Structure 1
């Protein structure tokens, strides 16, 4: 086999695509290449000859189907099989985010996707000044609509962005309340002014501090169910999975994984996993969060 490192990058990408189709769909033809990369039929033929020279035992041409089929025992040499990436391509939201040609699936299997309730999108006119304020250490005046009070204008100093698994937040120093807070980007209705930051706010301890959250399988489950879930969540023979979580994202982590609290009325089949160091975790939650 020729040295794969000698392949030009653009050719390597096309041959990787060829192997992707052979691996996941068991077939590929010249038209697949021309449509995916906008190349000519002649160039596609050249690519197929090049691949046959590199991997002569990988595929066989079927005159009846006018396409190549992967041979028994086919193992790709350019494409590294990536199941999570393939599944992400099948999800419309992930495929859209990945963008056009990065979705290489030609014949997807039937798929149903449980949809999230559509939320208001973040406006570029809001996100751009927030991002620039982070880059250049600026304060910006925002019109903010919280769920607990009427909309008002306030100055904040953005320090970062936080994704909760559901929505995007701006983490920033709130000059009005003299504390750090999370501002939901879709609730920032307008940005009307900016200025150089005055005296720098103290560093946000919750941004860097972490807490170890100890996760275990719900002990109320039967042994068989515990073994199945342990294979999904735990590592090796461990009984507990320890996850280092930034304190800032701790509430979101718990909510996203369905372990916000230990309700006795919640069936173990629904909860599946539990927090072993609950007292320590609750102590690390932001003030007032447990009362929401």
Structure 2
């Protein structure tokens, strides 16, 4: 039985073995030229890497003389690559968006792909740096922050964590003016005025440290075939799937999935899923 191998972080042979495994898994073929071109190593070194891979996983690949390449055997089992579609798709979209350079991606043949652009939210690098350093040093910040509901712009915050709601970045921070933890949109910081010692001690962020399971199910007004389609789509078991989140994220999850909108008809395609209940989960 082949043991699962974890990534060590080294950029030597183990990284090249991971590359071999990835190409066999997702693209179904690999030759020495693929290895030498990507890593800029010699042919003899690539041959050694292929021999090492065969030593680790002797039944994973065979040489196809027609293709002049190694292909996965019928008994192939990945030993390095993540056997998860999201891993490949996230890497694909990372390349499309320019977040991931071709030299940082093991994908060789790139299928056509497009992503939906969103309006840009500018986060000033200087402000992000100050927030990171304040968080690391447990310092408070006096900031010029413009919210949609509060006219007072200057406030003192103690940054605690970053959060992403699927659309925009927030920083979770204790607001000394409000005497509570709040989420602050990064792009709405106008200026960091100064870094100071925390004026007072602050309580634990209970909502951040607490986890809940949001249990979802298909639209109850759907017919059987539609419900089965949604159950398969979201990998539901007995008509339910759980999404584990921090309690502080509940508002954003409900808004993103329209879980706070009632569904009254079977024709409302916006409401394919509904929230069935919320369950407590373990805390940090």
- The TM tier, using the shorter chain, reads 0.7 to 0.9
Which residue of the partner structure matches residue 149 of structure 2?
A: 148
Aligned partners of 2:141 and 2:192 also within 8 Å: yes
Which residue of the partner structure matches residue 285 of structure 1?
A: none
1:213 equivalenced with 2:206 (yes/no): no
- What is the distance in 2 between the residues matched to 1:4 and 1:117? 38
- What is the distance in 2 between the residues matched to 1:227 and 1:92? 32
- What is the distance in 2 between the residues matched to 1:14 and 1:169? 37
Give TM-score, length-normalised by structure 1. Answer: 0.79
Rate the CA distance shift 1:51–1:162 in 2: closer, same or farther, 3 A. Answer: closer
Aligned partners of 2:219 and 2:263 also within 8 Å: no
**SS at the partner of 1:166?**
coil
Q: Deviations over 1:65-87 (max 9, x none)?
A: 5x314155150453343322111
**Which of 39, 48, 60 is matched with 2:63 structurally?**
60
Aligned partners of 1:88 and 1:95 also within 8 Å: no
- What is the distance in 2 between the residues matched to 1:130 and 1:145? 16
Q: CA deviation at 1:149?
A: 4.7
Q: CA deviation at 1:189?
A: 1.5
Rate the CA distance shift 1:53–1:253 in 2: closer, same or farther, 3 A. Answer: closer
User: Between Structure 1 and Structure 2, how many residues are aligned?
Assistant: 273
Q: CA deviation at 1:48?
A: 3.1
Which residue of the partner structure matches residue 202 of structure 1?
A: 203
Aligned partners of 1:89 and 1:103 also within 8 Å: yes
Q: Which sections of structure 2, spanning at least 5 residues, go unmatched?
A: 280-284
Q: Deviations over 1:179-222 (max 9, x none)?
A: 32211111111112011112112223322344443322111111
Aligned partners of 1:141 and 1:155 also within 8 Å: yes
Q: CA deviation at 1:50?
A: 4.0
**SS at the partner of 2:184?**
strand
Rate the CA distance shift 1:3–1:204 in 2: closer, same or farther, 3 A. Answer: closer
Greater helix content: 1
Aligned partners of 2:219 and 2:274 also within 8 Å: yes
Give TM-score, length-normalised by structure 2. Answer: 0.81
Which residue of the partner structure matches residue 255 of structure 1?
A: 255
Structure having the higher Rg: 1
Aligned partners of 2:144 and 2:191 also within 8 Å: yes
- What is the distance in 1 between the residues matched to 2:102 and 2:111? 19
Which residue of the partner structure matches residue 79 of structure 1?
A: 80
**SS at the partner of 1:122?**
coil
Q: CA deviation at 1:252?
A: 0.6
